Amino acid sequence: MLFDLNLIKPFLAVYHQLSYSKAAELIGLSQPATSRAIHRLEDTLGYKLFVKKGRGITPTNKAVMLANDFESAINIIENSVDTKKQFIIYCHEGLLFHLNGLPIKFLSPPSSQSKMIEDLRADKADLAIDHVTDNDPSFVIETLGETEMVAVTSKHNQISKFDEETFYSLQHVLTKSTRHGMSFFDLLVESPRPRHEKYIADSAMTMLTYVSIDHSTICVAPRIIVDMWKEALNLKTFTIPFEIQKAPYQLIYHRRYEHNEEHKKLREEIKARIPKH
């Protein structure tokens, strides 16, 4: 059989996206070209790869087996030719200072979890240190540690009593980062109440800076980053006056790198440097 290797990339994109349009956008082809590639692959193999399901598509059993074989082969090839000297990682800003001196280019994680996962899948980054709520079998997700969440205000904020009613009565600064449309605060609190939103910041660092300047506001942030900037920004912290879970931070990477020696060395170095609490 004369097999066109160029058909593998469109197939895997459609397999993971379950959408011709999303797959086309991911790999930089038009939707008709992506659809034609799948039809050519089906003609070559002699069986269907995707069937309609509701308004979308779903892979056949043979497509699932084919995708697993293709990805295993690609992982072997990529590991064989990988001579990368500098790694690109998405890293939560509260943790990146622990990794100084490593051959790493840091990027701020996208506010959208799905965007970060797709970037890792498309090899736009080698790994991420953040928090995800999905369990995609294509990825390895290892918990590195967890951090307490604290309420943060300016030292000039004249709060005399800090209880639940005070917490919810203040104006809050949030970040854009969400998981399934929910803030980390809402994910960690069993029955969160609506908060008065004053400003939505691009990052945790911007959020803390805003609170340090606007003395009437408050935010919720991981202690691991607050402790680092508390004195410089003239901040003070309060224990959140109701039950809230600690926030985990994880190491997230595609299984194609699971056995890559350079990638493994980097992961072990990260684990040795990142604090557990």
Does residue 231 share a domain with residue 162? yes
Residue where a domain stops, chosen among 37, 54, 81? 81
What pLDDT does residue 93 have?
A: 85
Last residue of a domain, one of 38, 54, 81: 81
Would you state the pLDDT for residue 79? Answer: 63
What residue numbers bound the domain in which 29 lies?
Answer: 5-81
* pTM, two decimal places: 0.67
Q: Are residues 176 and 48 in the same domain?
A: no
pLDDT at 1: 59
| Judgement on whether residues 181 and 63 belong to the same structural domain of the protein | no
What's the per-residue H, E or C state across the chain?
A: CCCCHHHHHHHHHHHHHCCHHHHHHHHCCCHHHHHHHHHHHHHHHCCCCEEEECCEEEECHHHHHHHHHHHHHHHHHHHHHCCCCCEEEEECCCCHHHHCCCCEEEECCCCEHHHHHHHHHCCCCCEEEECCCCCCCCEEEEEEEEECEEEEEECCCCCCCCCHHHHHHCEEEEECCEECCECHHHHHCCCCCCCEEEEEECCHHHHHHHHHHCCCEEEEEEHHHHHHHCCCCCEEEEECCCCCCCEEEEEEEEHHHCCCHHHHHHHHHHHHHCCCC
Question: What per-residue confidence (pLDDT) applies to 3?
Answer: 80
Look at the chain and report how many structural domains it folds into.
3
**Residue 109 shares a structural domain with residue 76:** no
What local confidence, expressed as pLDDT, does residue 11 receive?
A: 93
Same domain, 112 and 153: no
Low-confidence ranges of the chain (pLDDT < 70): 1, 78-85
- The pLDDT, as a whole number, for residue 78 is 67
Q: For position 104, which CATH number holds?
A: 3.40.190.10
CATH label of the domain that carries residue 28 = 1.10.10.10
Do 258 and 135 fall within a single domain? yes
Could you read off the pLDDT of 133-173 as tens digits, one per residue?
Answer: 888 889 999 999 999 999 999 999 988 889 999 999 999 99
Q: Is there a single domain that holds both residue 194 and residue 169?
A: yes
- Both 165 and 201 in a single domain? yes
56 with 126, same domain? no
**Residues 134, 256 share a domain:** yes
Is 140 found in the same domain as 258?
Answer: yes
Same domain, 111 and 124: yes
